[in-house]
């Protein structure tokens, strides 16, 4: 046997011995983990523990269970009461119900107030004269005085009409014109109200102080002082409103109803132009 082989055998034996020694020490450490030391075991044996002598764990648990059962109160022998759902009204309304009801209440109150205000406004007499109703344009004496002082015409913006003198001598002829039937009361008080709107195409017809006629600037229709057509394309005389004079002498122009003007050719007053026309080129009579 050579020297090298002998050295290898000796080295392998030494390594094997070292490995065996390490394994024995390691095994002793593992067995010691979690194990009580001798001193701890001696202290536990000497301690005065409150454990019933001779009782097993099962005996202790059974005793505890019996103690818990004894502490329970037995239920009454009567029949169980039926469960009745609570009244929602008594319990109260939810927040959503509250807001829904509040919204409906407020909306109803608003609509009710609006309707009540409209109803009161409908019933309440209108303080100021309004076109479309009966318009008081003043005392008859004042109206006639204004007509004289202002060159033959009294204009009321509230009634949107002119009040002019209707000659007493023309009344017999007027009674023969059907369109004048509801105007006779005013005529007999010496006045007639002519609507400012031209019966041709609706322009406002102004008075012409020089001719003492009405002369429309739009297409030249001309009417005498009581609104009977004299020239131009208008299909009839000026429309009118009925006038009534109250017991107190107030001139009431009823603008709730437009009365069609008299037909072409009506000429109850025989009034011709009293001066130069304000509008030229009105064309001939139709
Ligand atoms: S609108 Fe008055 S004449 Fe045409």
Residue 248 has pLDDT above 80, yes or no: yes
Task: Please compute the mean of the pLDDT values over residues 246-275 and round it to a whole number.
Answer: 97
How many structural domains comprise the chain? 1
The pLDDT of residue 149 is 96
More confident residue, 55 or 166: 166
Please check whether residue 218 is in contact with residue 204, taking contact to mean a CB–CB distance below 8 angstroms. Answer: no
Report the alpha-carbon distance of residue 61 to residue 67 in Å, rounded: 10
The pLDDT of residue 12 is 67
Average pLDDT, the chain: 83
Query: Is 184 within the bounds of a domain?
Result: yes
Strand pairing category for 250-259 and 240-245: antiparallel
Query: Is 125 within the bounds of a domain?
Result: no
Query: Is 26 within the bounds of a domain?
Result: no
Range of the domain at 187: 134-259
Residue 270 has pLDDT above 70, yes or no: yes
The pLDDT of residue 117 is 78
198 lines ligand 1 (CB under 6 A): yes
CA 214 vs CA 2, 211, 264, 282: distances in Å: 161, 8, 15, 12
Query: Is 243 within the bounds of a domain?
Result: yes
Report the alpha-carbon distance of residue 240 to residue 258 in Å, rounded: 6
Nearest atom (ligand 1) to Cα of 233:
3
In the structure, what pLDDT confidence band is assigned to residue 285 with cuts at 50, 70 and 90? very low
Report the alpha-carbon distance of residue 235 to residue 254 in Å, rounded: 24
Query: Is 179 within the bounds of a domain?
Result: yes
Query: Is 40 within the bounds of a domain?
Result: no
What digits encode the pLDDT tens for the residues 30-49? 455 556 677 777 776 665 55
Report the alpha-carbon distance of residue 41 to residue 16 in Å, rounded: 38
What digits encode the pLDDT tens for the residues 97-121? 778 888 888 888 888 877 887 677 6
221 lines ligand 1 (CB under 6 A): yes
Residue 51 has pLDDT above 70, yes or no: no
Query: Is 29 within the bounds of a domain?
Result: no
203 lines ligand 1 (CB under 6 A): yes
Q: What is the DSSP string of 159-190?
A: TTEEEEE--GGGHHHHTT-GGGGGGHHHHHTT
Residue 283 has pLDDT above 50, yes or no: no
What digits encode the pLDDT tens for the residues 167-217? 999 999 999 999 999 999 999 999 999 999 999 999 999 999 999 999 999
Task: Please compute the mean of the pLDDT values over residues 52-70 and round it to a whole number.
Answer: 77
CATH of the domain at 138: 2.102.10.10
By most ligand atoms within 8 Å of CB, the mutation choice from 233, 238, 283 for ligand 1 is 233
Query: Is 80 within the bounds of a domain?
Result: no
């Amino acid at each position: 046997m050579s020297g090298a082989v002998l050295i290898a055998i000796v080295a392998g034996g030494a390594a094997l011995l070292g490995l065996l020694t390490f394994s024995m020490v390691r095994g002793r450490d593992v067995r010691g983990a979690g194990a009580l030391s001798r001193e701890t075991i001696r202290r536990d044996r000497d301690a005065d523990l409150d454990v019933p002598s001779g009782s097993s764990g099962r005996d202790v648990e059974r005793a505890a269970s019996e103690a818990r059962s004894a502490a329970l109160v037995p239920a009454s022998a009567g029949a169980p009461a039926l469960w009745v759902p609570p009244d929602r009204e008594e319990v109260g309304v939810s927040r959503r119900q509250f807001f829904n009801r509040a919204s409906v209440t407020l909306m109803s109150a608003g609509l009710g107030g609006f309707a009540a205000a409209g109803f009161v406004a409908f019933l309440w007499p209108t303080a100021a004269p309004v076109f479309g109703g009966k318009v008081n344009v003043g005392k008859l004496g004042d109206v006639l005085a204004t007509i004289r002082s202002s060159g033959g015409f009294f204009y009321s913006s509230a009634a949107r009409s002119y009040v002019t003198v209707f000659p007493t001598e023309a009344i017999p002829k007027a009674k023969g014109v059907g369109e004048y039937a509801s105007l006779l009361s005013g005529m007999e008080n010496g006045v007639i109200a002519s609507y400012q709107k031209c019966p041709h195409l609706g322009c406002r017809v102004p008075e012409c102080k020089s001719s003492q006629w009405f002369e429309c600037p739009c297409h030249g229709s001309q009417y005498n002082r009581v609104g009977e057509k004299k020239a131009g394309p208008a299909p009839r005389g000026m429309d009118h409103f009925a006038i009534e004079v109250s017991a107190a002498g107030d001139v009431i122009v009823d603008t709730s109803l437009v009365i069609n003007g008299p037909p072409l050719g009506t000429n109850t007053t025989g009034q011709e132009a009293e001066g130069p026309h304000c509008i030229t080129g009105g064309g001939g009579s139709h």
